A and B are shown apart, each in its own frame.
Chain A
Amino acid sequence: MEEIRIRLRHGDVLLGDGAWGTMLMQRGLRAGEPPDMACISQPGAIEEIAALYLESGAEIVTTNSFGASPLKLQMFGLAGRTEEINRKSVEAARRAVGTRAYVSASVGPTGRLLKPYGDVEAGEVQAGFERQVRALAEAGADLICVETMTDLAEAVLAVRAARAVAPAAPVMATMTFDATPRGFHTVMGVTVEQAAAGLEEAGADILGSNCGNGIETMIEIAREFRRRSRLPVAIRSNAGLPVLREGVLAYPESPGFMAERVPQLLAAGVQIIGGCCGTTPAHIAALRKTIDSSRQ
Chain B
Amino acid sequence: MDILKQIAESLERGEDDPVRELTSQAVADGIAPGTILNDGLIRGMGIVGERFRLREIFLPEVLLAARAMTGGMEVLKLLLVRDKLPLGTKVVIGSVRGDLHDIGKNLVGIMLKGAGFEVIDLGTDVQPERFVDTAVAENAPLIGMSALLTTTMPAMKEVVDLVEARQLRSKVKTIIGGAAVSAEFAGQIGADAYAFDAAKAVERVKQLVG
Contacts and interface: CB of A to CB of B under 8 A. Distances in A.
Nearest to B151: A25
Main secondary structure of the interface of B (DSSP, over half): loop
Interface residues of B, number: 30
25 contacts: A22-B149, A22-B151, A26-B151, A31-B97, A31-B127, A32-B125, A75-B124, A113-B63, A116-B64, A117-B60, A180-B55, A181-B56, A182-B55, A185-B58, A188-B59, A188-B60, A189-B58, A189-B61, A241-B179, A242-B179, A244-B184, A244-B185, A247-B184, A247-B185, A249-B180
B63 A244 contact: no
Given A31-B98, A31-B125, 11 more contacts: A22-B150, A22-B151, A31-B127, A67-B100, A118-B63, A189-B57, A242-B150, A247-B184, A247-B188, A249-B150, A249-B182
Interface string B140-180: 00000000011101000000000000000000000000011
Interface in A51-95: 67, 75
Contacts of A35: 100
Main secondary structure of the interface of A (DSSP, over half): loop
Interface of B: 54-61, 63-64, 97-98, 100, 102-103, 123-125, 127, 149-151, 153, 179-182, 184-185, 188
B55 A21 contact: no
Contacts of A118: 63
Contact of A178 (B55, B98, B102): B55
Contacts of B102: 111
Interface-central residue, B54, B60, B64, B179, by most chain A CB under 10 Å: B60
B94 to A, nearest CB: 13
